[in-house]
Structure 1
Amino acid sequence: MIEQKQQLENAVQEALNIAKKLGVDQTEVALTKTSGTSVNTRLGEVENVEFNLDGGMGISVYIDQCKGSASTADLSPEAIASTVKVAVDIARYTSKDKYAGLLDKDCLETAPKDLDLYHPSSCDTEQLLALAKECEDIALNSDKRIVNSDGVAVNSHSSLRVYGNSNGFLNSYASSRHSLSCVLIAQQENEMQRDYSYTSARDMQDLFSAKWVADEAVKRTVSRLGATKIKTQQAPVLFSAEVATGLFGHLVSAISGTSIYKKSTFLLDTINTQIFPDWMQVSEKPHLIKGIASSPYDQEGSKTIDRNIIDQGVLQTYLLTGYATRQLDMKSTGHTGGIHNWFVKDTGLDLAGLFKEMGTGFFVTELMGQGVNMVTGDYSRGVAGFWIENGVIAYPVHEVTIAGNLKDMFMGIEAVGSDIDPRSSLKTGSILINKMKIAGA
């Protein structure tokens, strides 16, 4: 890895040097190499084995604020030189954009931290297949209602990313990601239901066991049997931890710099404004060791720092790329490429406690469709889950729709559970919202 790291850094530096000789004002180069193995089994048979080794170099040049970009998978000196020249030629034909360019030097990370993100697997293909078969075998033999499998997948990948620009930044870091997932089909009389479970981590040793994934997939699948519709009404809605991440995913989209400067968000001009209950806290921690979304710097080389996103219900920051900072006349927040390990503070109740707190209402475990208008905040999604009565699960529910507006939903959050889903880069427990419209039978 050290030798490859040096080779790729040299290739990026070569591109920067060539651009400088051609008189380019500003240049940035991103190079990624990814390798790994994916295997799939179904009903004890191997369905797919895939090896991949890919990557490429992307070069962007800025000439008098005119941008040109080109890419290549060939890292020979001749190919790099040719790609830089193509980017330069393109820049000569593009329109001037006063917001185009590199980050200011004072925003760049000068001392990147080692976050222990690289843990390549020592497992060969046979071992990965054995893990998949073990998981599926446990699942298929644990409950007679599990009548079929839609397959088990094991993925193990590593990557090396190098980024450099003409403002003096040139760094790289390696990372890895491994996962195991299982999809099952259950049957009861003439009814069939499908569900799944998974585990994901930087280090193969940190994955949940094959038995945990199998047992969780079985539990989720059979619990859906006997699902029915419910009548149209208004009621409290509890989003399970697994789907609650989606609510904050909408927050991420709504406060992204692109949405703000395009004025295409329901949270326009809400910085330093209360948008959640006054007890809500959401923090970001980019430098967690082995973190799923940890990063020593963002994809433009910007510093990533611990920060509060929501403090006492008040929005503290937008999520800005370099381009957005210039559009909005603000400073980079290090979010080119996405967020970095968000944590939603819980209010002290576990899932059973949230059921009791809700009393009667709808527990959502699956979301379907994309019915969210990010300009108005209007929210309408197909859902499945469970009806709760007197603080306990009464029966499974399917084929219903919930609706509301994200502004009202955010302010209507009454509790956040301690049942945090550790697999997500956005860590939250289940979220209880005081009321939503439920369209059923």
Structure 2
Amino acid sequence: MSDPGFSFSQEHLREIASTVLEHARHNGATACETDVSEGFGQTTTVRKGEVETIEYNRDKGVGVTVYVGQQRGHASTSDFSLEAIKRTVEAALSIARFTASDPCAGLPEEALLARESMDLDLHHPWRLPVAAAIEHARACEQAAFDVSSEITNSEGASISTQESHFVSANSLGFIGGYASSRHGVSCSVIAGEGDRMQREYWYDSRRDAADLGDFAAVGRLAGERAIARLGARKIETCEVPVLFEAPVAVTLLGNFVHAVSGGALYRKSSFLLDSLGQQVFSPTVTIRERPHLRKAFGVGPFDSEGVATHARDVVLDGVLQGYFLSSYSARKLGLQTTGNAGGSHNLLLEPGELDLDGLVRKMDRGLLVTELLGQGVNYVTGDYSRGAAGFWVENGRIQYPVEEITIAGNLAEMFRGIVAVGNDGLDRSAKHCGSLLIDRMTVAGS
């Protein structure tokens, strides 16, 4: 029986997947894999107390990948009719017959496929009436305005609810799928006027709307953060310790994942080439992949190829234990897939003992970064340079906000220079990382 919010049941998605596989086999494919999915959602945004937008989305799709020997073709459609599905399979086959043979192409090893079902508690429907969403967004935004009369404008508060489900299958006999949800609240406001204006925001996102807590708290925090940035100054260029607040520290975890992912490695476009078993972080860093953590983001019993996922230590006491590999990238490297087709799963950088205030005291003097701007990462060399804003710290205390600065270093040195990890990580994404204190970086100011 289908969920009231979905137009198609899991059984129907499985029937479509089976049709794809059978039609591909009948028309000469030696192997085939397919993904059939459907999703829908609603986002309501209020600005200055008035409804600004009410958006609805509903999407569905079938993706087909076929192999003729080791020639690969892919096609997709959003039409679930039998004729459209057959035409999509035939289009993928036509593409495959015109592509070059690739010795690394093909389905994963059959023995590695997931065979057991697993309920990870990922689907929590939220049938939120628009009128209620409007009131939640108004309460969130008003809490930001109530922080101070210096909150002068708003870019809006939004309430979002999203649900989806899918089925993946391949010609080796694998078929699996499940439903999931993601709900969120966000608020962005402006403090001050004229040249003094500062923008800040905050958000929360959960599988289960009940875990979002008080919507007003999100707005209040957005307002407090905006007020804290008023009176921002420029600083002189210096070389000091840098503390990345948890919401921006998680981007460093993303930089690491990119550098040790199969695509970057077999293309030799990573500064962490041949680093397996090497000390790539300071000994204080341990990173665990936990793909079966119930109710979390980024989890699942199998990857996008159907390969079973497993909990593992990716980094242990600073030493790299494993890469993030799909079947294709693993073959290119002469290794075995790690079950990471589609990317990393739920990652946790093990927290330390200090909260953000404790890390500020430990740093004593330096820069607390709360916002990163632009893109400035060279994954071949590891060179890192990004615009930033935050707060200057002296004698273990925040002194004043700073802006119009650039922080620069090299990711290899930054990773090895992590002095401490905070215990203030946020459970709102597939990567969990507390604030990170790095021993030294160049801060370019005025």
- C-alpha displacement at 1:346, in angstroms? 2.3
State the alpha-carbon separation in 1 of the partners of residues 427 and 20 from structure 2: 40
State the shift of 1:278 in Å: 2.0
1:238 corresponds to which residue?
A: 243
Q: Which runs of 5+ in 1 are unaligned?
A: none
Partner of residue 329, structure 1: 334
**Which residue number corresponds to residue 256 of structure 1?**
261
| Residue 52 (structure 1) aligns with | 57
Residue in 2 that maps onto 1:398: 403
Matching of residue 346 in structure 1 with residue 351 in structure 2: yes
Q: Secondary structure at the match of 1:298?
A: coil
Aligned length: 441
* More displaced 10-residue stretch of structure 1: 128-137 or 260-269: 128-137
Aligned partners of 2:47 and 2:358: how far apart in 1?
A: 38
* Structure 2 counterpart SS, 1:74: coil
- 1:181 pairs, out of 186, 210, 215, with 186
* Residue 203, structure 1, aligned to residue 208, structure 2: yes
**What does residue 435 of structure 2 align with?**
430
Give 1:172 deviation, angstroms.
1.0
Question: In the alignment, what sits opposite 1:225?
Answer: 230
Q: Distance in 2 between matches of 1:64 and 1:105?
A: 17
Which residue, 265, 273, 277 being the options, matches 2:270? 265
Per the TM alignment, residue 142 of structure 1 is displaced from its structure 2 partner at its CA by 2.7
Q: How does 1:103-142 map to 2 (within 5 A)?
A: 103-142=108-147
Q: 1:117·1:202 contact (CA, 8 Å) conserved in 2?
A: yes
Q: Which residue of 1 aligns with 2:385?
A: 380
Q: CA deviation digits over 1:44-101, x for unaligned, max 9? A: 1111111111121010100021111111111111111111111111111111111111
Quote the RMSD (CA, aligned, Å): 1.1
Give the aligned partner of residue 84 of structure 1.
Answer: 89
Q: Percent identity?
A: 45
TM-score relative to the length of structure 2: 0.97
Give the conservation status (yes or no) of the 8 Å contact 1:239–1:432.
yes
Could you tell me how far 1:347 is from its partner in structure 2?
Answer: 2.6
Q: Summarize deviations over 1:142-172 as a string: whole Å, max 9, x none.
A: 3101011001111101001110000101111
CA shift at 1:130, angstroms? 1.4
The more displaced of 272-281 and 402-411 is: 272-281
Structure 2 equivalent of residue 11 of structure 1: 16
2:197 is paired with a residue whose SS is strand
3-state SS of paired residue (2:192): strand
Structure 2 unaligned regions, length at least 5: none
Letter in structure 2 aligned against 1:245: V
Aligned mates of 2:351, 2:165 — CA distance in 1: 35
Per the normalisation by structure 1, the TM-score is: 0.98
Residue in structure 2 matched with residue 43 of structure 1 by the alignment? 48
The CA deviation at 1:211 is 1.5
Aligned equivalents of 2:428, 2:90: Cα separation in 1: 43
Q: Give the corresponding residue for 2:70.
A: 65
1:147 counterpart = 2:152:
yes
Contact 1:350 1:419 in 2 (8 A): yes
Moved over 2 A (4+): none
Structure 2 match to 1:291: 296
